Every structure is written in C-alpha cells, then in structure tokens.
Amino acid sequence: MPMTEALRDDGVHLITANRAAARLELRRGEFALAVHLGIVRVDVRRADGRARVRQEEIDRLRSEDGFPQTLRERVRTVGTAEGARLLGISPVRFTRLARAGCATPVAFYLNRYRAVVWLYLAQELGGLAARSPELLVGNSPPWMRDRLDAGTDCRARNWRARRIERLLTLTEDPWARAAVIAETLDPVQLAEVVDDPYERAYFGRVRPVPVFSPSASAAGREAMARLMLADEPDEILWRRVTLGMELDSAREVRPAPRPGEERWPEASEGPAAGAAERSGASAGAGAPKSSVESRDPRGSVGPGEASAEPAQPPGAQGDEGQVGAGGRTGGAPGLLDRLRLRRPRGSLRPRQAAGGGRNPLATGTRTRHPFRHADQGSNH
C-alpha cells in the first residue's frame, strides 16, 4: 500500500478517503454521502483537516452481511422520476409531496441547464410509503393544499436543515460549529450578528472541510453557497439566534486569533516594521500629537493602536513639529529623498545651511538645501 494512502497517527492505522472508498467499493459521491449520514465514521485529527478512516472501521463495514450490496443500498439516491416509480405515483404527485415537505432531499446536482435536481434516499421513500400511505392515493390533505397554494417549496430548506444538523454532529469544536451556522447567513446578516471582522475571517479557516478535495465546477460551488443561505424570515431569525449562542460558547473556549495578539516588529528590525506602521497610519492619519507620544518608547505600535507618523528615535520627539528650509515637516526620509541622498562617488555633496544645519540622516529630518538651487542658477 503506498505511503501516501496509509499512515499511522498515535499508533492508529488511518486510510485516506480515496483508499477507503475503494476498499468499501463505493463511488466518491456514495462514500461522501455515507460519511455525511454517519454510516462511515471518519477521523479528522490530522493537521490538514482531511478526513481519514481507521482500518478497524473498514473491517467492520466489510464484515457486515451482504457487503457491499447492503452498504450501497443505504446510500442509494433517486431523482423525481425514479422516486415516483418507487412509490407507484406520478412524478407530478411526487413533486407535490417534496414541495410540501413530505420528502426531504439528501443531495442535489446541476443538470445541463444548470437547474437544481434534488436527490432522495431510496430507503427513506420506502419508509414514507409505509408510514403515510394516505399521501399516495386520493386527494391531498387540506394542509398540503394550503402550502402548495401559497407557493411553498420546502425542499431547499429541509435539505439545508438536514445538512447543518449532520455537520454539527460531525464536529465538536465550538468555532467550527459557529462557522457552520454562519454559512447560512448572507454577509449583511452575518456582519450584524458578528461585528468582529477577525471572527468572521476565522470562520473560513475552521469550517469543516469536505471529505474529498473540492473538485466541483464553479457553478456547483455557487449553487451550494446559494442553497445554504436561509431565505425565509423565521429561518433567518432562528439561524441568527443559534449563531449568537454558538458564538458565545466559542468565545468562552478561546478568542479568535488576530494580528494584534502577536508581537509587532520593532522599527529597527527591517522593512516589515515600516509596513506594519504604514498600515496603521492609514487609520490614524491626522491624529493629535498625544496619540503619537503614547506609543511604545521603542518605536513599536501596540495592539489596536494606529500611528500617524513613523517611529522617531529617542530624543527626537522635539523635531516632529519643525519645518525645514524647504517648508516640509520633519520626519524620516522617504524613498525619493533616500534616492537623492545616495549620490555617486565623486559628485558634489550639497552644502548644509548656514548656522550648522542638521544632517537629515542623523536626525530623521527632511531638509531642502537652499544652496542647491542657488548653484543650479549660477550655471545658467
């Protein structure tokens, strides 16, 4: 067995999803559905978050009577036409039952026209016929007619509720549970419930990953994202309340990571420090001098703070308000000024201003030399 398909973790023999599906004689879609339904138990302790199956789980399923036919029958799905034949009714009546919520879809796919085609478990349809035979013959009950006359279509909502319930069952991490609920709200609704952008970004990192690598088309991913959104007021309210409860539980376990929790690089450590300070300068531009003086004396910016100017060396705070000879305020030399000061060897150096002007590189003050223009004018 190739090393990429089998590995050991803490003495447990784990098999990748592709290898496990082959050992169970299931197609990729059937194996993913078996995991989703809890028929196949997976292990996701690995750092990459990918699902793997224990060898003991493979042996247990293979030892069941009637393998692999019984396992395939548990994950067999049918569409509208085949489901209608299974129940002995017309496709129109089957569609009415599904729209009214009597049959819950378990999966879907897009046809050539990119229309959603719902799939149902064959075993559940057999249970519906045994449980409610009156729905298959005669007139529809009044409650069903009222729903259908009002234009109700419960297929997407029931599929969404079923999927969310299964995803919550497959994970115990509180942040992952909150991420599953957050997927049902559009960005506006989500921002109203979770106002912290770092927490919303963290949802994308801890959201449960699929059994196999995402290989669906862009249209399929868009359809999945669209169908996962709650679209009725009562469902939206319920998801908002549930997300708030899950988020409170997650915050008690650990906070969402954010850049401010890490140590900011000091100004003397290289270009990364300047980039961090420039990112904070956009938020604090025009801040009063008191906010600049409240920074760390070493020049680093603390968490949550924004700097309007680059960090000054100790003792240079008094130069922040000075104006050079050219009328520009003091500060660390910019890119253009550094390029001007790096003159080739043998070239004339600009003379300092009379009265012992300061060296711009020593004090961090950007000074325009008045004699440079004077010399240039004498050449003409």
Question: What does the pLDDT look like over 9-59, one tens digit per residue?
Answer: 555 788 888 999 999 999 998 999 999 898 999 886 545 667 789 999 999
Which tens digit of pLDDT belongs to each residue from 95-106? 999 999 999 999
Q: Give me the pLDDT at residue 52, please.
A: 86
Question: Taking a C-beta distance cutoff of 8 angstroms, is the pair 37, 166 a contact?
Answer: yes
- Look at residue 258 in the predicted model and tell me its pLDDT: 83
Rounded-to-integer distance, Cα 91 and Cα 105, Å: 15
* Alpha carbons 307 and 298: distance in angstroms, whole number: 13
The arithmetic mean of pLDDT across residues 121-141, rounded, is: 92
Mean pLDDT of all residues in the chain? 74
pLDDT greater at residue 354 or residue 87? 87
**Rounded distance, CA 293 to CA 98, Å?**
67
What confidence category does residue 171 fall into, taking pLDDT thresholds of 50, 70 and 90?
A: confident
Lowest model confidence (mean pLDDT) among 6-20, 77-91, 150-164: 6-20
pLDDT in the model for residue 10: 53
Q: What tokens were used for 208?
A: 């449960």
pLDDT in tens, 329-370: 444 455 555 445 444 554 444 444 444 444 444 444 444 444
Burial 308-343 (b: 16+ CB within 10 A, else e): bbbbbeeebeebbeeebeeeeebbbbeeebeeeeee
Predicted local distance difference test score (pLDDT) of residue 42 = 85
